[in-house]
Structure 1
Amino acid sequence: MHAKVQAAAPGPAPVKPRLSFWAIWNMSFGFLGIQAGFALQQSNVPRIFETLGAELDKIGYLMMAAPLAGLLVQPIIGYMSDRTWGRFGRRRPYFLMGAILATLGMFGMPNAHVLWAAAAMLLLLDVAINISMEPFRAFVGDLLPKEQLTTGYAVQTFFIGVGAVAASALPYVLQHWFNVSNTAAAGQTPDSVVYAFYIGGAVYLGAVLWTVIRTKEYSPAQLHAFDPEPEQTQQAKPSSGLRGFVHDYVNMPKIMVQLSLVQFFTWFTWFSMWTYGTATVTQHIYHATDTSSALYNDGASWWGVCGAVYNAASIGFAFVLPRIARRTSRKTAHAIALLVGGLSFLSIYFVDAPGLLLLPFVGIGLAWASTLSMPYAILAGKIPPMKMGMYMGMFNTSIVIPQVVSGATLGLLLTRFFHGSAVMMMMLGGISMLLAALLSLRIKEDK
């Protein structure tokens, strides 16, 4: 918990106190659960869709439920959370509501027996994850002084990595350590995946409850006291109604526009990986296409191990990136990470053994760590405090739009130009991430 803040008095504005390590730990812990749910979705939903009969080039369309949910939900939730204040705070009611809905979605997803039901569960899960996730980004900006923002987002990235490592590897661990079946009849989801979703749902709810209970928020009056000058201008006052929302969107900070272009090419890559990662491993490494075969399911579980590796790497890199940023700049640190990530994606084409496949995912982990922290650290110090949630929600549309574009186009490219070879989607992703690295160097940020 952070220190108490006295009511504002005449004179210099009070400064947000620096928070202790454990205060930052508690406020970020809920992301462990959110990312556990997100990682299980990334690693296993394409596998579930294929098992239920979805054609490979159509999976991208089904996976578009996730970014479309974000496009609608995140700006609205950000706008609403800026204006919420009550007994349970400003952001925390949204954390809890999203966690409850996500847990229901995670229990339902592996039990879907027809494709439309699985797609419906994915939509519920994604809406819920977005309800939880967007206010968490603004939460860091609310509570931390500017000099701790990079550290705050790095700790958040640490928990994202921990949750994702454990969740991504769960089906493999359940199969090899606890002898849970990793195969099932045609059209059925293996028990290893079913139990993984059950465990993930419980972790999601428990971790978010920890943050809700262990963290207090500053009231609107306290936030106003911390940043009185920006609040006194018309531009920084909270907008009201649709007209105010449109006004704020049109007049978003310039750096937000620059970052959005970097985000487009970055998240085009991530969506390509999540959609076609399972197929890349089963086709390119295991040479299997029969979803009921042991070889296919071994490959699908190994894709989860790859996810665990890049998320584990991101944990370590989350604390290296702030050091690189202090020696250079945040944008330079981000560019280096994306460059390494892009080259790592391109190297997957030349790998032909499961063990060797893990090496590129270490480099991909560096890009993932930076994606989850650096853009937000660059942006958070430039946003008026009373509009933090809304602008973070708007900024997250730069994550959504490239995923929609990726989902709408990659299936066509897969069949028309690459003859169903999923590994080529990784190559396109690598090229896209290299473009993002170049564009990040063009960002104009304060020293």
Structure 2
Amino acid sequence: MSFGFLGIQFGFALQNANVSRIFETLGASVDDIPILWVAAPLTGLLIQPVVGYFSDRTWTKLGRRRPYFLTGAVLASLALFVMPNSPTLWFAAGMLWIMDASINISMEPFRAFVGDNLPADQTTSGFAMQSFFIGTGAIVASSLPYVLTNWFDVPNQAAEGIIPDSVKWSFYLGGAVFLAAVLWTVLRSKEYSPKELMSFTEPVGEKSSEEKGVLDAVISQNNGQSQVTRGVGIAMIGMIMSAWLYTQDLNKELYIFSIGTFLVGVLFMLSGLLQRRGSYANGFVTIMNDFETMPPTMKQLAMVQFFSWFALFAMWIYMTPAVTSHLYGTTDTTSKLYNDGADWVGLCMGVYNGIAALVAFGIPVVARFTNRRITHLLCLSAGGLALLSIYFMENPDFLMVSMVGIGIAWASILSVPYAMLAGSLPASKMGYYMGVFNFFIVIPQIVAAALLGFLVKSIFGGEPIYALVLGGVSMILAGLLCLFVDDRDSGKSMAVA
């Protein structure tokens, strides 16, 4: 059931370890990298809740979630073949958008797939199994350029503006593995039908459809007015922010905040107006209303996710430029020293994913003797300290030690929040809410893309290593916020492997 994540992580690992390298090779400066990366989180913000909403309402011969697995895998594999052949910087940025959208189409239903098929006492182990396959796929994919160069003599250098063959062949292999792994899950797994799922969770005393229709009509009128008012206020804040940024002549990346705020306001206004006119039985209004009424546990986990993923995105964006400049002392992308450092970063990222694959089996055991909140706190603290340690290094070899802490945190990030969340969600909206939960992965990535470039350029003196320091502090804060999460199904049975 989780094997497809092996392929999905091939795509993400190649993206995370090599896209900044591709951007720099095609002429991007360190300051420009965050804004080029913003395509990836924006794509997830748009794609995942929509795919989740429709996958909740899909049933075909392939099942409920599996059609989305397959569609995303085909598109992502094609994008992986094209990405390393990008002729220009902006073409590469566009391919990142397409590639990330395709991977998200496959990935989002996988989270709901586990929630659909497993009872409460198996969810921690189910998501831990996903972490294992994610880690296994990532360690191989992240290491591919290093392995191809050092074991198979594939060229690691190329002319200025050309992606090295070691990177190209890594993406070609990744595309093939992505499709094959997802096909295995599609062909070898099964799903419960919507009728069967309803029989597991059907509440006693359910209102008739006529009663619910009247109730929805009354609620939608009141809710519509409040959403219009709220939307106008949010949109005005966005406009004021944009005007202020224009007068200050600040970095263009900061407009992401103001324009994003304005667009959120517009969405609330549209949803409110539709409800006031009686048009509440549609997907857009349902998505907006369900976002407002998300379970309390989900809201508490949102803060944990925000600071966790801000730290991760800081690492993914800046690990290569930070290591090559801070530990290798070069910013020349055509030099052997730079490319050796970039390959070492890829290998290190593979190692932390390998650690995550091993740690995934220990997380249910630790949770059994403590609880999931304490487990997540310990793991995130290890990751935060590991990121901070890179600043104090002088020898790149010691990066491997830091990767242990990052791997521990990564294993927990990929499993524990989803296990805590699954117990608080209604089965009929599992896909949608898992997609909305992605907001709290995507929003910090957008914040990081908009803010980190400004900070590195204006505050950190052009030194990307300080972005990793900020990420370490952010991850430790995320761990502390775990203590405030109401884990509804935190009984010891949830932690049994």
TM-score when scaled to structure 1? 0.92
Alignment of 1:105-144 (within 5 A): 105-144=79-118
Which region of structure 1 is more displaced relative to structure 2, 206-215 or 286-295? Answer: 286-295
Give per-residue Cα distances to partners, 1:167-215, cap 9 Å, x unaligned.
0000000000000000000000000000000000000000000000000
Q: Distance in 1 between matches of 2:284 and 2:397?
A: 53
Measured after TM superposition, the shift of residue 252 of structure 1 is 0.6
State the alpha-carbon separation in 2 of the partners of residues 174 and 281 from structure 1.
Answer: 21
Report percent identity of matched pairs.
57
Deviations 1:344-373 (A, max 9, x none): 111111111121111011001000000000
The 1:250–1:282 alpha-carbon spacing in structure 2 relative to 1, beyond 3 Å, is same
Query: In the alignment, what sits opposite 1:353?
Result: 395
Greater C-alpha radius of gyration: 2
Q: Distance in 2 between matches of 1:291 and 1:116?
A: 18
Secondary structure in 2 matching 1:229: coil
The match for 1:59 is 33
> Quick check: 1:405 aligned with 2:379?
no
Partner of 1:444: 486
- State the alpha-carbon separation in 1 of the partners of residues 394 and 206 from structure 2: 61
Q: Does 1:300 align with 2:274?
A: no
Q: Aligned equivalents of 2:205 and 2:479: distance in 1?
A: 34
SS in 1 for 2:330: coil
Distance in 2, Cα, partners of 1:247 & 1:148: 30
| Deviation (angstroms), 1:241 | 2.8
CA shift, 1:435, in A, is 0.8
Q: Is the 8 A contact 1:102 1:128 kept in 2?
A: yes
In structure 1, how many angstroms separate the alpha carbons of the residues matched to 2:385 and 2:203?
45
Q: What is the correspondence of 1:256-267 to structure 2 with a 5 Å cutoff?
A: 256-267=298-309
For residue 284 of structure 1, what is the amino acid of its counterpart? H
8 Å Cα contact 1:272-1:406 kept in structure 2:
yes
1:394 aligned to 2:422? no
Corresponding position of 2:363: 321
Structure 1, unaligned runs of 5 or more? 1-26
Distance, in Å, in 1 between the alignment partners of 2:285 and 2:91 is: 38
Name the counterpart of 1:80: 54
| Among candidates 22, 38, 52, match of residue 48 of structure 1 | 22
Distance 1:261 1:373 in 2: 16
Distance in 1 (CA, whole Å) between partners of 2:442 and 2:284 is 21
| Structure 2 equivalent of residue 284 of structure 1 | 326
What amino acid sits opposite 2:408 in the alignment?
Answer: L
Q: 1:145 to 1:275 in 2, by over 3 A?
A: same
Q: Which residue of 2 aligns with 1:24?
A: none
Match for residue 136 of structure 2 among 162, 186, 191? 162
- Out of 374, 385, 392, the residue aligned to residue 332 of structure 1 is 374
1:285–1:354 CA contact under 8 A, matched in 2: yes
Look up the equivalent residue of 2:160 and give its one-letter code: A
Offset of residue 230 of structure 1: 7.7
Q: How does 1:426-437 map to 2 (within 5 A)?
A: 426-437=468-479
**Residue 175 of structure 2 corresponds to residue 206 of structure 1:** no
Q: How does 1:235-246 map to 2 (within 5 A)?
A: 240-246=282-288
- Conserved 8 A contact 1:31-1:156: yes
Q: What is the DSSP-based 3-state SS (H/G/I as helix, E as strand, rest coil) of the residue aligned with 2:404?
A: helix
Counterparts of 1:199 and 1:53 in 2: how far apart (Å)? 25
C-alpha displacement of 1:232: 3.5
1:22 paired residue number: none
- 1:71 maps to 2:45: yes
Which amino acid in 2 is paired with 1:173?
A: V
**Structure 2: which 5+ residue stretches go unaligned?**
217-280, 491-497
- 3-state SS of paired residue (1:278): helix
Q: For residue 194 of structure 1, what is the aligned residue in structure 2?
A: 168
Using the TM superposition, give the Cα deviation of residue 139 of structure 1 relative to its aligned residue in structure 2, in angstroms. 0.3
1:362 to 382, 404, 429: 404
The code of the aligned residue for 1:358 comes to: M
SS in 2 for 1:37: helix
Corresponding pairs, count: 420
SS in 2 for 1:406: helix
Specify whether residues 138 and 296 from structure 1 end up closer, same or farther in structure 2 by C-alpha distance, changes over 3 A only. same
Q: Is the 8 A contact 1:49 1:59 kept in 2?
A: yes
Per the normalisation by structure 2, the TM-score is 0.83
